[in-house]
Amino acid sequence: MQIPVKCGCGGCEEWAMVELQGSLDIQHATSLQNLSIGSLCHTSANKYKFVIGYHELEGTKVALKKPIAILKKIKHSDGMEIDPQLAATPVSVEMQVVGIIRHKLLFKTRPKALISKVEAKPKRMPTLLGH
Amino acid sequence: MAAEVLNLKLASSATVSYGDAFGSEDFKLLEVDERILKELLQDGLTIKGGPDDEAVLCTSAATYAIKYVSTSNTVLLIPPSEKITNGNNDDGMGFTMAQVVATSSGHLELVETAPQLDNLKTLLNQRPYVEDLEGGQMQEDEPLEGLYSWDDLTTMVQASDRQLKEALKALNAVQIGDYWRVVDERFMQGLLEVIFLSAVQHDWDLKCLQEAAVVQALKDDCYSPQIVRHCLSCYGKKGSTLLNDCKTSHLWELDDTKVCLHYAKLLLRDSAKWKLEEFMKEWRRTTPAGMEPSIEMLRGEALVEKLGPESWLQLYSISSLPTKPADRFSALFKERAKWEWDDLEPYLRDMQTPGQSVEAMLLKYTRKTQPTASSAAIYTAR
Ligand SMILES: [Zn+2]
């Protein structure tokens, strides 16, 4: 079997990658869509601040050693195939490049608490679990 | 244009949130170098593999294993967005909305690997080309079972296009009609014999055969031009192009080693074991005049075994051995428990795989002993 891997757009754009230590712990949320994660701020030359709930992370913009292609699986069940031998596999799969990653915002510090005592957690707000 | 968060101005901020369609798409991250990325964006690449294979990724030239590397970090993927909200927030700074469309728990890495060519031989050997009656043309009602086109092979064989082409050449395969075929050795021998007979008859020089003349002469014996040209390319190398009467004709120089080897193989197939002297005598007798057989030509094709005062020869062709290093060494040590370097070396010639030298393979699969400093090294199974 062959799966083509190709660019479908002719000019793949650069995506951003944000990497955090640990995992985001989502509380009380039934669905993630449109849920706010936090606020990202470019504080100085190559310093970024990411505030998530009551935690603050410090990070930098890092160029990746090698680029990363973002691939999306696409299933064609088109009527284009008239070859009867191919009729046995009506669905052809293709991996399409939808973007390239060349940089990431890397937050590798442990989260620092903004307030020492958390009194009431607002609903639907992700918090950060460090390792 | 890149995702806005990468170009955040100093002192400005972005609100990062899960997008409308978060989690609805499954993305794979593939780490590539710039050269592969360029080919990926321009021409595309191909993932190949059957249900029982480990998938590989092929560029036009090379084959790569695909390795998954997971991360315990949280990785958010943010595409460039069409809708940039340039408003004012409380402190009067501009801000941006950044929408996360997916998270990732790892990425794929490529490791260059050897093409998997074992099944190519199996596919082509299902139906060798045994007769030339059809003159290169397929009969319309002929069943297609066991016949493979370029598209079939490139789908079924885990190799890049360039590697597949090289492998077909190494197997002396030829495209006849839509299908790639290996030509039956006995058929080829018959054809070669006719070429030699014609050479004697027309007083041709085997080092300087005129393609057009050979093709014309062999038409009478019902050999198609295509198969004649293929035979010349299997046993010779193309020389300069000749121009006469405004027609071009290639010149072919037959290769002593290839022709002699062909006759040696026929003898070795007829009889499992030969006394070396008898074999050499018979080999010289059957080889066309002007070509001198030598035992050196048989390296990688046959093995000499010393039994007391006598030397015996038997067929043992590199082309019959598996291509994966572990399988190759296992087959070699099944054939012989101990190998001298001189005997072993020809069977490792095609084994260089990306990232693995013959030296590394010897360390991994063999044990080397040297009884005395002056004696030859002996390799046994590890
Ligand atoms: Zn693209």
Nearest to B68 by CA among B113, B23, B29, B15: B29
d(CA B369, CA A3): 48
In degrees and rounded to multiples of 5, residue B92 shows phi and psi of: 85, 0
Neighboring chain A residues of B41 at a CB cutoff of 8 Å: 7, 12, 97
Residue of B nearest to A46 (CA): B10
Is there a single domain that holds both residue B16 and residue B80?
A: yes
- Chain B 35-74, CB below 8 Å of chain A: which residues? 37, 40-41, 43-51, 57, 71-74
B97 interfacial to chain A (CB closer than 8 Å): no
Counting beta carbons within 10 angstroms of the beta carbon of residue A11, is it exposed (0 to 12), middle (13 to 18) or buried (19 or more)? exposed
Number of cross-chain residue pairs from A and B with Cβ atoms under 8 Å apart: 186
Under 8 Å CB-to-CB from B196, ≥6 apart: which residues?
B206, B288
Eight-class DSSP state of B294: -
Cβ within 8 Å, pair B16-A5:
no
Is there a single domain that holds both residue B103 and residue B126?
A: no
Residue of A nearest to B77 (CA): A17
Q: Which two tokens stand for residue B3?
A: 């995702």
Is there a single domain that holds both residue B42 and residue B89?
A: yes
Under 8 Å CB-to-CB from A114, ≥6 apart: which residues?
A51, A54, A55, A56
Is there a single domain that holds both residue B17 and residue B106?
A: yes
Q: Could you tell me the residue range of the domain that residue B375 belongs to?
A: 323-382
pLDDT of A121 higher than 70: no
CATH of the domain at B290: 1.10.10
Is there a single domain that holds both residue B310 and residue B358?
A: no
Q: How many helices (H) and strands (E) does chain B have?
A: 12, 19
Is there a single domain that holds both residue B174 and residue B205?
A: no
d(CA B198, CA B216): 11
d(CA B74, CA B103): 7
Eight-class DSSP state of B136: T
Domain count, chain B: 5
Choose the final residue of a domain: B82, B113, B144: B113
d(CA A24, CA A126): 6
Cβ within 8 Å, pair A15-B77:
yes
CATH of the domain at B376: 3.90.1150.220
Choose the final residue of a domain: B159, B182, B205: B182
pTM: 0.81
B213 interfacial to chain A (CB closer than 8 Å): no
Is there a single domain that holds both residue B174 and residue B203?
A: no
At A56, which amino acid appears? E
Residue of B nearest to A130 (CA): B73
Choose the final residue of a domain: B182, B208, B229: B182
d(CA B179, CA B149): 4
Nearest to B99 by CA among B119, B116, B79: B79
- Tell me the ipTM for this assembly: 0.83
d(CA B359, CA B366): 10
- Chain B 134-163, CB below 8 Å of chain A: which residues? 154-155
Distance from CA of B346 to the nearest CA of A (A): 34
Neighboring chain B residues of A71 at a CB cutoff of 8 Å: 27-30
Annotated domain spans of chain A: 5-129
Is there a single domain that holds both residue B207 and residue B165?
A: no
Residues forming a β-bridge with A21 = none
Query: In tens digits, what is the pLDDT along chain B, a chain of 382 residues?
Result: 677 888 888 888 899 999 888 888 889 999 999 999 999 999 999 999 988 889 999 999 999 999 999 999 999 999 997 544 444 444 444 567 899 999 999 999 999 998 988 899 999 999 999 876 544 455 566 678 899 999 999 999 999 999 999 999 989 999 998 999 999 988 888 899 899 999 999 999 888 899 999 999 998 888 989 999 999 999 998 877 666 655 667 899 999 999 999 899 889 988 889 999 999 999 999 998 888 999 999 999 999 998 889 999 999 999 889 888 899 999 999 999 999 999 999 999 888 777 778 899 999 999 999 888 888 889 999 8
Cβ within 8 Å, pair B27-A14:
no
- Chain A 101-120, CB below 8 Å of chain B: which residues? 101, 103, 105
Ramachandran region, residue B106 (left: φ > 0; alpha: ψ -120 to 50; beta: rest): left
